[in-house]
Structure 1
């Protein structure tokens, strides 16, 4: 054999590698989503279409592109004139158009039933493909009711916010075919303590002028921002338009944040240099006014972790189905099955609880509103705490490949902690739970009723609920707030699974999350119905 012939021989054959996933129908392959949408009154038609479209291999690759090519800040034009613009990769704009036209931000406000449940399911689906573009759409969704309550402002802004069109043009609101809204609340010295904000608002005729610095402005290329500033009567909520007639509003983008994840979405430090602003709500009542927006964004921070968990588990399941080791498929090995079955409990619990919360957002009674306030905080706390654990374990299933950017696991891993920080980190949420239960008797009443609704179905659940109430006959001391919040959220999840989930899931969740027989490491369990649990992955 000649030297040239030897050099032309292959070094190896590609064996024991899973096939490319191709197009994925994120509705048809997810029986847990289908069941929960049915239970909560969500609309299947827009979800089926959205799930099929965004799951296509081409769209998934666009999501990867949007993260490989993050946004860039253009502060000045070549002549030195201020631009204060953020330039995005075309893949980002494609994803924004797709999700905006599907109704991600607007379905809850179109007057048809099941809008919030449908929106929550879209958040779950979108988070599996590209979570970064969800941020401006979530804030737009959450700000619409706040804007709608202010007649003169609503007449201009509401039709643009409700439009199915995504319009990234740098134009004033009157010339846009669609609009998005962002939020700028956090300042350096205050963080979650927004009452410590120092940005000032000065009256200018019928409007206001804002001067100050915001340490975090989410989605700085939005058409407007809800923000807080100190007016003469106290902290007040304002709408600050990005563009004015014939000029740019005096909002200076100082730098983009170099974040751990969420790379496709821009976050910025900004300064208001006497920027024009419109008052929302009463002067001095800024926190109360903006809490409506915060309340709705929290729904999305409770739902997105379920989507991230689903995406990570789907990749792990695909890997173990097609990968062999020691003459057996990974999926057929008992320890691997135990790990994945245990993780299914976290994912299905998170999705089921999140969708139940969304159903209460669609309700119209005082009881629905009270349950939404308390349950969204509980769901956000528990789901965001479990998400990084589930994603990390799924990454480990793939071994070294899970740590490589050829798979979506690194992106999911970087994204996993975000929702635990957005709209209140863990301690803030736990204190908010205590505050809601102490100040709103109806919230405590409806939460108790929801927990009681599952009594009698499982003795272990009944024992856990009884022990919980004996441990805390009244609200706990602040130092125990996390313990209390976790146990309450676990019980609330278990109650939903008992009432609506299959026995294998409900029994497994209660035995491992409530009864104290499980270790803290996933897979440190025995007695799970692994066949039934793994079948939930579709």
Structure 2
């Protein structure tokens, strides 16, 4: 008798791509037509990957193997054969190869929404970052030597980024790792790469280091491509240990020691910190995408459970309070999903741009900060409340919901916490005058709203939000208010965008969801049960599954 995972995961027969109506509306609005691979991936994730990911999380976490049987350092991480299989299978859907071969970076981002397992997708995110950096900033020799290994059909390489050091955390300007030239290569030394995810699995990594004589602070940072094995086939760095973590178990996170490690400069010495941050933007968008993807899975599961579970004489989904909960959670998911996919689309349109960056690049970067912060906190709320809708079962290790929540928590932490996103947004708003560009973009979105009353209401809301944001930015205490600016601009943008998508695509249910989102964030005293009931009907797509 085969174990039936569908008995503990009610969403195991859905297609996370083709069955997701709101996501399809956003892609339609952005004029992105996904490949058939995305539909195949959406089915694979629900029918196989979620089960494999849960088993890895519970019973098969990665193990560091420091020495081989002949007493030689190997510094490899041992994962189960099923873990190897699921990574290979995910790569077969073009998650890395499509962007590199066809410059279809959106294929990677949408794949991340479908996969949205923080552990497994972290491995793929880090691989995408490494391949992206190599393709865009590696010299001809390094690119020709290594790039094809990341898109090979057989045993494709995995990547990593080793930025963070124990003494600095998000402050890359505090990096102490040093690089010195050695012919066509560099020798990199530093013992403090403290949060090195995918270490022991990665075949190569992107590493930040400071060359001798470089200025102090972030502008003294350069960026390097570092293979896991040097040109003689020996381990190129050591892994001191792996971390024990609350979530993201599938991706090993270690501490890496570099000792005259062989590396190759990416870009030039003067733009290293900009290149490092650009590469980081890829993972910040992935973070937003994955966060909202986790939230979608959790809500989908809670919705299906509420339909089938009876309490006090009727299904949970027939209780008004549960209906309200489901609708408000859906509003958070749709708004976060829309702004995250918009961020992905904008960045995909500027990925050829190099320092000094264009105005369009800075606008895309602005959206990445807003999306990352909004999606991560929405995911935290939705996944936690999905646990509550399942009652005590939501808190049990034996059902997927608790894992969704554990994996969602990290999305507001890694790749820059909420404070870091707020400060980075503050910097781009003040130095690049992006607030004006955002206002113009929202004005264009408002034109999509054909209902004059709603458009007038939204126009007033946008005007008020930007007035408040301008006041915060002009204050001598602007850093104190930075998170207020981040939250205000993100929720305003998401609200306008959700209405624009709904009207442009003719989705009246999404219009109701957009209204609930607006009320929740800008008019919290207003709640109309009839609107909630209409919005709930819009959510009935989650009850159905593709063949």
Mapped pair 1:395 → 2:395: no
Mapped pair 1:529 → 2:532: yes
1:283-298 to 2 correspondences below 5 Å: 283-298=269-284
Q: Please report the TM-score for the alignment, with normalisation by the length of structure 1.
A: 0.88
Deviation of 1:131 after TM superposition, in Å, equals 2.9
1:453-532 to 2 correspondences below 5 Å: 453-455=444-446, 457-473=454-470, 475=473, 477-501=478-502, 502-517=510-525, 528-532=531-535
Counterpart among 99, 112, 118 of residue 108 in structure 1:
99
Counterpart among 177, 190, 201 of residue 179 in structure 2:
201
The 1:248–1:207 alpha-carbon spacing in structure 2 relative to 1, beyond 3 Å, is same
The 1:371–1:153 alpha-carbon spacing in structure 2 relative to 1, beyond 3 Å, is same
Mapped pair 1:334 → 2:320: yes
Instruction: Give the whole-Å Cα distance in 2 for the aligned partners of 1:453 and 1:164.
Output: 43
Cα contact 2:17–2:39 (8 A) shared by 1? yes
Q: Calculate the aligned-residue CA RMSD, in Å.
A: 2.1
1:204-223 to 2 correspondences below 5 Å: 204-213=182-191, 214-220=193-199, 221-223=201-203
Instruction: Give the whole-Å Cα distance in 2 for the aligned partners of 1:192 and 1:525.
Output: 44
Deviation of 1:290 after TM superposition, in Å, equals 1.4
Q: Deviations over 1:205-227 (max 9, x none)?
A: 22221111211111012111111
Q: Which residue in 1 is equivalent to 2:125?
A: 138
Q: Which residue in 2 is equivalent to 1:119?
A: 108
More helix by share: 2
Instruction: Give the whole-Å Cα distance in 2 for the aligned partners of 1:289 and 1:491.
Output: 30
Cα contact 1:450–1:492 (8 A) shared by 2? no
Instruction: Give the whole-Å Cα distance in 2 for the aligned partners of 1:413 and 1:525.
Output: 30
Mapped pair 1:33 → 2:34: no
Counterpart among 89, 97, 101 of residue 98 in structure 1:
89
The 1:18–1:61 alpha-carbon spacing in structure 2 relative to 1, beyond 3 Å, is closer
Q: Which segment is superposed worse, 426-435 or 234-243?
A: 234-243
Gaps of 5+ in 1: 1-16, 168-177, 519-523
Instruction: Give the whole-Å Cα distance in 2 for the aligned partners of 1:109 and 1:508.
Output: 40
Where 1:190 maps in the other structure, the secondary structure is: coil
Instruction: Give the whole-Å Cα distance in 1 for the aligned partners of 2:445 and 2:49.
Output: 41
Choose 1 or 2 for highest CA Rg.
1
Cα contact 1:512–1:525 (8 A) shared by 2? no
Q: Which residue in 1 is equivalent to 2:545?
A: none
Where 1:43 maps in the other structure, the secondary structure is: coil
Counterpart among 406, 416, 420 of residue 398 in structure 2:
406
Where 1:248 maps in the other structure, the secondary structure is: coil
Instruction: Give the whole-Å Cα distance in 2 for the aligned partners of 1:436 and 1:42.
Output: 31
Q: Which residue in 2 is equivalent to 1:6?
A: none
Q: Which residue in 2 is equivalent to 1:170?
A: none
Q: Which residue in 1 is equivalent to 2:3?
A: none
Deviation of 1:319 after TM superposition, in Å, equals 0.9
1:183-332 to 2 correspondences below 5 Å: 183-213=161-191, 214-220=193-199, 221-234=201-214, 235-332=221-318
Cα contact 1:395–1:403 (8 A) shared by 2? yes
Instruction: Give the whole-Å Cα distance in 1 for the aligned partners of 2:497 and 2:374.
Output: 14
Q: How many residues align?
A: 500
The 1:265–1:21 alpha-carbon spacing in structure 2 relative to 1, beyond 3 Å, is same
Instruction: Give the whole-Å Cα distance in 2 for the aligned partners of 1:400 and 1:185.
Output: 40
Q: Please report the TM-score for the alignment, with normalisation by the length of structure 2.
A: 0.87
Gaps of 5+ in 2: 1-6, 215-220, 447-451, 503-509, 543-547
Instruction: Give the whole-Å Cα distance in 1 for the aligned partners of 2:252 and 2:301.
Output: 27
